[in-house]
Structure 1
Amino acid sequence: MSLFLCVDCGGSKTNAVICDAKGNIVGRALGGPSNASYLSVKDFTSAIRMTVSDALKTTTSPPSIEPVPLPPVGDTPFAAAWFGVSGLDSPMAVAEVIPILSNLLGIPAGPRLSVANDTILLAAPVRLHPDIKHAVGVICGTGSIAVSFEETETGFNELGRVGGWGWILGDEGGGFHVGREAIRQMVAETDAASVTGAPPPESVMTKLILGRFGLDSVLDILGAVHVPDPNPSVINPQHLPQFTMLREKRLSSLAPLVFTAAFEHDDQLALRVLKTTSSIFAAQIATILGDKDEKRPKLVKAQDAVLSLGGSLVGIEAYRNLLLEALAAKGHVFRYVEFVDDAAATGAVGLASSFKGQ
């Protein structure tokens, strides 16, 4: 078989899609997280091995029930592979991962094995618009990052990037930021009420978050947020689920509650949270936008580019619109805006197309 594999490695899940030489999707699978900076080499490799193996099982009819061994026994089934890996941000990091993936798939390091940050998968929509050569790929899900690209004869050339520094240092606009900002807005209202004597305004978001932690008052939120990360070997099954989460997930898991309150209940506090996080993320994205000059030759003008969006949070149209409004307020209106809801599929089809006739 001559199969073409694209794997989108994210902080929440791994998405593997396999195409045949004609660009038909013949296999796919989802697996656990595979952010290269968060996981050990062993866990990173294991996540990819399991997901790609599961995807290979679906390429047969009927699907195989037996695991497909990786590295392959005998010849590799893959003609080429393209990996977009979250947390993979430097040439050194890429160089360290390539031998691992090369061995895992049986593909020699070289032009048939492409490995880069996961934003590269969002550059593909440039090819849908022949009147432009630039794309700004924005991922906003568990984490966030923005990267600008220029299409060349040999592929895509990265111009500038901002973000992708993880939940401790950044991830503006992403799930952790939304959860943290929600807690911050809740405690800010409680602080303000302490000097007025009046209770804070009613908020669906506040009720949902307190309910998640099993609390009756915002005054008790400190312990819930700051309780140490659990030791998996001594987790008490009677504890509420949120207390068995790592602290990062404890806050990022609040994002769906904020979205529910904002967009289903028109909760003003939740809307304020999302306007804040989207505005901060827009300001970050603006770092790589503008009219280029001698000092900043790699800036991209929004009016001459496609904004290609991916990730669970910008997959929600109302939040996506808040981000676009915040960018427009800063003078950045893109010629085209595309939401890529399946970057791995787009990448796999594009990869097969790029190898036609070879």
Structure 2
Amino acid sequence: MSLFLCVDCGGSKTSATICGASGNILGRALGGPSNFAYLSLQDFESAVSLTISNALKTVTSPPSVDPVSLPPTGDTPFAAAWFGVSGIDSAEAIAEVTPTLSTLLGIPAGPRLTIANDTHLLAAPVRMHADINHAVAVIGGTGGIAVSFRDEQDGLRELGRVGGWGWILGDEGGGFHVGREAVRQMLAETDLASVRGAPPPESILTTRILERFGLKNVPEILVAVHVPDASPSVTTPQTLPQYTMVREKRLSSLAPLVFQSAFEDADPLALRVLQSTSDVFASQISILLGESDESGPNRVKAETAMISFGGSLVGVEAYRKMILDALAAKGHVFRYVEFVDDAAATGAKGLAASYAAKKD
């Protein structure tokens, strides 16, 4: 069997899709987080291996109930594989992970095994538009990053990138950024109220966040945010789940509350938070954009390019529109706008199509 595999490795989940030679989806599976920057190589391999194994179980009809062992025994079933990995940001990182993935699939390092940052998967739809050859891929999910590409005869060439530095250094537009900005604005309103001698405006978002942490007032949230990561040996059944989370997740997990409060309840505070994060994200994306010249030979003109979004936050149309409106205010209006809700499926189909084209 000649199978084409694409694996989207992100900070929240791993998604694997397997296609046949005609591009028909034969199997798929979801697994745990596999951001390469946050895991050891062993933990990364474990997350990816389990997800691919589960995807292979669904290829058979009826689906197999027995685990599919990897590396494969005998000849590999995979004609080619494409890994889009969050946290893979350098040639050195690719070189580090290549032997592991090559052995795991039984595919030799080379043209049949593609390993790149997960933004590459989002840029694939540029090939659907004959009148352009530039794309800007934007991920806004657990983290945030934007990367520009030119579609060339031998594949996508990365031109420039901004962001994707992780939650400590900055993941603008992503879940941590949204959660942090919500808490910052809650605290700022409370500080201002202390100066004015009047209570801060009522906010559905503030109420929800305090309830999430089991708190009665805003200043108490400083302890909730800064308390060290919990040790499994000292947690008790009475410990709130929010305090057993690692510190990054305590803030990034607030993003759904912000979105709910903004787009379902029109809460002014929540809307200001998202306006702020979308403006910052748009400013970051705009670094990639403009007229190409000596000072920026890799800039991309938005009007002759595609912007392709992926990730849970930018999957919300209202938030996506905030980012596009902020870009438009800076003079950047894209010819095409895409949202890729299943990057692994898009990548697997594209991989199969590219091999079919080579045969033709």
| TM-score, structure 2 normalization | 0.99
**Residue in 2 aligned with 1:296?**
296
Q: Using the alignment, how far apart are the partners of 1:93 and 1:219 within structure 2?
A: 41
Unaligned runs of 5+ in 2: none
Task: Return the offset for 1:125.
Answer: 1.2
Task: Return the offset for 1:342.
Answer: 0.4
**Residue in 1 aligned with 2:154?**
154
**Residue in 2 aligned with 1:203?**
203
Superposed counterparts of 1:86-97, under 5 Å:
86-97=86-97
Q: Can you list the C-alpha shifts for 1:284-323, whole angstroms capped at 9, x where unaligned? A: 1111110000121100000010000000000000100000
**Residue in 1 aligned with 2:259?**
259
Count how many residue pairs are aligned between Structure 1 and Structure 2. Answer: 358
Superposed counterparts of 1:210-229, under 5 Å:
210-229=210-229
**Residue in 2 aligned with 1:173?**
173
Task: Return the offset for 1:237.
Answer: 2.2
What letter corresponds to residue 328 of structure 1 in structure 2? Answer: A
Q: Using the alignment, how far apart are the partners of 1:253 and 1:235 within structure 2?
A: 20
Superposed counterparts of 1:269-348, under 5 Å:
269-348=269-348
Q: Using the alignment, how far apart are the partners of 2:236 and 2:80 within structure 1?
A: 46
Task: Return the offset for 1:232.
Answer: 2.5
The answer as to 2:118 corresponding to 1:121 is no
Q: Can you list the C-alpha shifts for 1:220-249, whole angstroms capped at 9, x where unaligned? A: 111111110011333222111100000000
**Residue in 1 aligned with 2:7?**
7
What letter corresponds to residue 108 of structure 2 in structure 1? Answer: P
**Residue in 2 aligned with 1:248?**
248
The residue matched to 1:233 in structure 2 has which SS? coil
The residue matched to 1:109 in structure 2 has which SS? coil
Q: Using the alignment, how far apart are the partners of 2:39 and 2:245 within structure 1?
A: 16
Q: Using the alignment, how far apart are the partners of 1:237 and 1:88 within structure 2?
A: 37
Q: Using the alignment, how far apart are the partners of 2:95 and 2:213 within structure 1?
A: 42
Task: Return the offset for 1:73.
Answer: 1.2
What letter corresponds to residue 149 of structure 1 in structure 2? Answer: F
What letter corresponds to residue 94 of structure 2 in structure 1? Answer: V
Q: Can you list the C-alpha shifts for 1:255-310, whole angstroms capped at 9, x where unaligned? A: 00000100000000000000000100100111111000012110000001000000
State the identity as a percent: 72
The residue matched to 2:76 in structure 1 has which SS? coil
The residue matched to 2:167 in structure 1 has which SS? helix
Task: Return the offset for 1:109.
Answer: 0.3
**Residue in 1 aligned with 2:182?**
182
**Residue in 2 aligned with 1:230?**
230
Q: Using the alignment, how far apart are the partners of 2:212 and 2:68 within structure 1?
A: 40
Question: Where does structure 1 differ by over 6 angstroms across 4 or more consecutive aligned residues?
Answer: none
Q: Using the alignment, how far apart are the partners of 1:233 and 1:24 within structure 2?
A: 48
**Residue in 2 aligned with 1:53?**
53
Q: Can you list the C-alpha shifts for 1:167-216, whole angstroms capped at 9, x where unaligned? A: 00010010000000000000000000001111110100000000000011
Q: Using the alignment, how far apart are the partners of 1:278 and 1:295 within structure 2?
A: 27
Q: Using the alignment, how far apart are the partners of 1:48 and 1:275 within structure 2?
A: 36
Q: Can you list the C-alpha shifts for 1:79-112, whole angstroms capped at 9, x where unaligned? A: 1000000000001101111111000000000000
**Residue in 2 aligned with 1:22?**
22
